[in-house]
Structure 1
Amino acid sequence: MFVLELTYTAPLDRIDAVLPEHVEWLKAHYAAGTFLASGRKVPRDGGLILAAGVDRAAVEEITRTDPFTVAGLATYAVTEFVATTTAPALDAYREQLPAS
């Protein structure tokens, strides 16, 4: 599983101008089953996305296609983690630690 942390590198008026495209991009990845949750950070200097079902290379490619990234308005930090404990609603995404 991955946490995608989006950080704005441009003023909010430029972010808001591209926001409709970003929302459509989000919807496409929800429809594909890749995104599980997303939202704005508080204070509003970026956002977070919880993603699953793909490998790191695929996640990094997804972040490069975000309209905010394409327009040079934001950057991403990608953190991978093993979701060994989940809420019941996320049981399908529970993972096992790799064998050592």
Structure 2
Amino acid sequence: MRHEATQASVLPATAPADYGIDLAAILDEVRPHLAGKTSAEVGEAGGLNPVVVSQLFTRNRPASLGAVAALADAAGGRLVVKFEPPAKPRASKPKTAKGKRP
């Protein structure tokens, strides 16, 4: 039996920009490190189709995290994505009954 997704079980799509990640800006940082290379050379080095490389750099295709990571690799660098867990609340002192030691 095939599972059909219901509207309630489908989460809304979110873009990295919704979380403060500007992939276009990161792409702009990578671009100078690829200067002098053709889209074909960059595509081969990063495992991307040369047409996709061209579309990314002309902003005719939205950048994905994977594509930016591939371009960073093609440039000889790497893209770092890091999870920062929430700060742990400070441990409170144990409460004791009045007049008693802990």
TM-score of the two chains, using structure 2 as the length reference: 0.27
Specify which structure has the higher proportion of helix.
2
Specify which structure has the higher proportion of strand.
1
Of structures 1 and 2, the one scoring higher in RCO (CA 8 A, sep 6+) is: 1
Q: Name the larger-Rg structure.
A: 2
